[in-house]
Structure 1
Amino acid sequence: MIEIPTLGFLRDQLRRARQARGLSQEELGKLINYSSSAVSAVEVGQKPLNPDYLARVDTVLETGGLFVSLLELIRLHAAPDWFRPWEEVEREATALRWYDPTVIPGLLQTEAYARAMLRAGPLLTPEEVEERVLARMARQAVLSRDQPPQLVAVLDEQALRRQVGDRATMREQLAHLLAVGAQPHVHVRIIPAETSWYIGLNGPFILARLADGTELAHLDNQLRGHTVDGPNDLASLGRRWETVAGEALPRRQSARLIEEVAKSWT
């Protein structure tokens, strides 16, 4: 069985490769246009790894793209085993309908918001948090590819008002939500807080349609999520979607509400 590298392993290899070339952190920093403090922070795990940094190191140290490839390998295996099938669905989907009453959907999260969410629980180590953040950010590439899926996200207003991270994180997240929601293939709609209890408050779900017309859904619980493909379950979730979408404000009114809530985080 092949052992998948970790971010800790990748940082060790970065340090070893630099030292093998006889370069100090300051010397490497000058070559890749990063400060010596940034190089140090990356190597000791105080700064997240990113493809730009690794690509520059690969070029300067002539490692043939090794470090970028290692990061991609880590990303591909960072998500829990039970979630990987849904990642494949997201990559193949032509349409996604996402309802969440509690948090901003993963495909619309900023890095800081995702990191704060994942840090909130006691189950993940700091390294595992960074690996999950890396994987979550990479998933968002589906929205910027050629022929991206049509995404309609319906959120409860409470998801905009529930603090995740610090206030700056919330300001950045709502600004990002507005920016992504302005794209023609992304519709963000908000259910106002004054709405009385409705069936969607029973929990989040995602509906996906593939190019061949196949319909699938994803449900989460406290332990794990699972993919749903049974006709009866899909029909039931379809009816629930119509209910929650019917409670949501139109797209432009939703954007105005997001702008209004964003001011409360200043």
Structure 2
Amino acid sequence: MQDQPDSSAPAPPEVAFGQELRRLREAEGWSQEALGRRIRCSGTLVGYYELAKRPVPEEFVRRAASPEGFGPKGERLIELWKEINPRTSPPWFRQWPKLEKQARIIRSWEPLIVPGLLQTADYARAVLRGVPGQTPEEVEQALQVRLHRQSIFDRASAPMLAAVIDEGVLQRPIGGSQVMRQQLEWLLTFAGHPKITLQVVPLAAGVTTGLLGGFAIATFPDGHGWAYLESASSGQVTDRVEEVQAISLRYDLIRAWALPLHSSLDVIREAIARYEE
């Protein structure tokens, strides 16, 4: 017989947040819709947050702990939200890893670096060291968060990842030749994962559609989509339908220029041989 779950184990912070939100709401005698009206949120979203089915934005937590919401009683919500969103990532990015966990399909484009979900530890460390003002301790903390994101591929319900990168990514020796060779070998390993496809847009294509920055699109089982857009100084996570659709169209245009899967892997192998030389 299988071991029973340890009922004494603490609930994950996402679940604990939802439980506390529901406890506070019911203590006030409010329905989900009533709470939503008080803090400018739909009752449906309140229900999602209570069941830990959607990432909770910081703005919601601030309103819940405001006088219109629970007031000082909501301080525990703030503490739990901080546990869910550690300060090792920029504020605008903290929501994205939770969306990755819930996604059925992730489509990504990277013109400059290997996607975070596919980075080795040494490659990721070299990238993170390039962030101005980062201390060695902060680099290592951010590194652990980045590597932990890759655990979504260890699950039986792992999302499909359709990653497209520019060929220039293979030629930029981030961390040096040895780090790059190991990173590219790791890409070939990932390419063998049944849930991952990796394609390369050749330099000869001359396509400029995606050169302004990388992005990713996460599609949930119910069809709802979120997009993450990178920029030089910050980023944006949005589920606005028109923005997600625009990014999806851009992804399709870029992917149309990409090499087929087998040709993309050949390009990666050729790049590995250059770093070995």
Q: Deviations over 1:110-140 (max 9, x none)?
A: 0000000111233211100000001000010
Structure 2: segments with no counterpart, 5+ residues: 1-82
Q: Deviations over 1:60-96 (max 9, x none)?
A: xxxxxxxxxxxxx799542223211111101111100
2: CA distance, partners of 1:198 / 1:222: 17
| Correspondence for 1:169 | 179
Matched, 1:182 2:198: no
Look up the equivalent residue of 2:156 and give its one-letter code: D
1: CA distance, partners of 2:191 / 2:95: 26
| Correspondence for 1:255 | 265
Matched, 1:209 2:219: yes
1: CA distance, partners of 2:213 / 2:130: 20
Alignment of 1:77-92 (within 5 A): 77-92=87-102
Asked if 2 retains the 8 angstrom alpha-carbon contact of 1:97 and 1:208, the reply is yes
Asked if 2 retains the 8 angstrom alpha-carbon contact of 1:218 and 1:225, the reply is yes
Matched, 1:127 2:137: yes
Question: After TM superposition, which residue ranges in structure 1, 4 or more long, deviate above 4 angstroms?
Answer: 73-77
| Correspondence for 1:229 | 239
Matched, 1:98 2:108: yes
> Which is worse superposed, 227-236 or 156-165?
227-236
2: CA distance, partners of 1:213 / 1:240: 19
Q: Deviations over 1:216-244 (max 9, x none)?
A: 10011122221121121112111111110
TM-score by length of 2: 0.67
| Correspondence for 2:249 | 239
1: CA distance, partners of 2:218 / 2:85: 23
Asked if 1 retains the 8 angstrom alpha-carbon contact of 2:200 and 2:264, the reply is yes
Determine which structure has the larger helix proportion and give its number.
Answer: 1
How many pairs align?
194
Asked if 1 retains the 8 angstrom alpha-carbon contact of 2:128 and 2:139, the reply is yes
| Correspondence for 1:265 | 275
2: CA distance, partners of 1:160 / 1:149: 25
2: CA distance, partners of 1:110 / 1:182: 16
SS of structure 2 residue aligned to 1:99: strand
C-alpha change, 1:121 and 1:162, in structure 2 (3 Å) is: same
TM-superposed CA distance for 1:248, in Å, is 0.3
Asked if 2 retains the 8 angstrom alpha-carbon contact of 1:75 and 1:135, the reply is no
Structure 1: segments with no counterpart, 5+ residues: 1-72
> Which is worse superposed, 137-146 or 119-128?
119-128
Q: Deviations over 1:124-171 (max 9, x none)?
A: 111000000010000100112111000000000000110100111000
Asked if 1 retains the 8 angstrom alpha-carbon contact of 2:207 and 2:257, the reply is no
Look up the equivalent residue of 1:100 and give its one-letter code: E
TM-score by length of 1: 0.70
The match for 2:204 among 194, 200, 203 is 194
The match for 1:115 among 121, 125, 139 is 125
